[in-house]
Amino acid sequence: MTIEEFIQQLESLVNSKSPLPGQAPLFIPEEIKQSLYSQPSVKAAADNAVVALTGTNSPISAGDIYRIAGLTNEPQIDDTRYDPNVALELPNFLGVPRNYEVDGVSIYTTDDQGEFLFYPSGSEYNLMSGQTPEVIAAVQAELVNTGLLKLGEFVPGKWGGLFINEEQKDVQAFKKILEHSNQTVNPDFTVGLRFFVDSQESIDAFSSEPAYLPPDYSTVSQSVTNLFEQQLNRKPKAYELELLANQLLADTKKAYQAQQPAQLDVGDITGEELMSGNLGNHIVLPPVQEETAIDPSSRLLQTFDEITAKEQERLGTNRDIQATNRIILNSITGAPR
């Protein structure tokens, strides 16, 4: 295959992929094509294309590019690393199939001491075995910050110390991090932690709290007007209407806020905060608001009584006089009382 044929195949690959939601149609910029043409070999052009065209927000993978270049990473039968007898002795690795390889890096890669660089099954336990409570709490705190673990699902400083529905939530969250490390062939699991933390922060940035919808002002004004007409047989004066309507609106909002569940603002917590005893499986929620039983209608009547007390007293006296006069008149006329 020539470089020109590779670029033609690459354009067909790009055209076959659908853009992610919110993305423009995919294409290969002219400067990238020129860079590919300038490469000394198809392998070098494919490597260059992987760097330029793949990534977190790209639907194109390195495997796609190497496949069309005829440089597939599938293991060959004569590759001694994949001798059947040897393969049976190799462990399974978290989150990836056997013989997994990306860009020439095998999941079975070892360091100078012959230890695997990546994470076999059981690493979610083995890596934390023998660690101090402070180290364990620091890892648990980062798992909380990723959004993979929730407060109340673990014992701070004790790995796998709490079962919920037969699961150890901190262990399972850490397993996802190690799976990500294996899948991206990056043995530094702190990079995976940072990836999930950044993803959670992006989600939080676009999250919105339920909107409070206040009552319609004209409806509130009519309620105040009805109250005056029923109790005082008159319409409210302008200042009375404004005072009581604004109070009813404010109290309605306070009542709504008081009914919302208390939220614990976690943010980026630390292992020290977990070990303090205020977080983890013994959560301390924020103090409950003092006014948790606000009744906007009762407060409206209370203020109404305060500003119209003298008027109501005068009207009450008049009503008593009128009632007495009716009794006297009825006794004279013989009408029923």
- pLDDT tens digits, one per residue of 195-222: 888 877 655 545 455 666 778 888 888 9
Q: Which residues contact 9 (CB under 8 A, 6 or more apart)?
A: 1, 68, 69
User: Among the listed ranges 197-201, 258-262, 294-298, which one has the minimum average pLDDT value?
Assistant: 258-262
**49 and 65 Cβ atoms separated by less than 8 Å:** yes
**196 and 144 Cβ atoms separated by less than 8 Å:** no
Number of Cβ within 10 Å of residue 231's Cβ equals 15
Q: What is the DSSP letter of 94?
A: T
Contacts of 157-163 with C-beta under 8 Å, sequence gap 24+, read: 157/133, 157/274, 157/275, 158/133, 159/125, 159/128, 159/129, 159/131, 160/125, 160/128, 162/281
Q: Which residue has the higher pLDDT, 81 or 253?
A: 253
State pLDDT tens for residues 33-69.
Answer: 888 888 888 888 888 888 777 765 677 777 778 788 8
**215 and 252 Cβ atoms separated by less than 8 Å:** yes
Q: Grade residue 330 by pLDDT with cuts at 50, 70 and 90.
A: low
Domain ranges of the chain: 3-68, 123-205, 217-259+267-310
Q: Grade residue 123 by pLDDT with cuts at 50, 70 and 90.
A: very high
| Res 277 pLDDT > 80 | no
Phi, psi (degrees; rounded to nearest 5) at 143: -65, -35
Separation of alpha carbons 146 and 127, rounded Å: 19
Taking the CA atoms of 200, 205, 206 and 209 in sequence, report the sign of the dihedral they define: positive
> So what's the pLDDT on residue 281?
46
> What Å distances lie between residue 177 and 54, 213, 227, 251, CA to CA?
21, 41, 62, 47
Q: Nearest-5° angle of CA 103, CA 108, CA 114? A: 125
On the CB side of 119, CA atoms within 13 Å amount to 27
Q: Which residue has the higher pLDDT, 326 or 184?
A: 184
| Res 177 pLDDT > 90 | yes
Which three-class secondary structure state does DSSP give residue 101? strand
> So what's the pLDDT on residue 265?
46
> So what's the pLDDT on residue 266?
46
Which of 264, 213, 220 lies closest to 244, judged by CA? Answer: 220
Which of 250, 266, 57, 26 lies closest to 153, judged by CA? Answer: 266
On the CB side of 7, CA atoms within 13 Å amount to 19
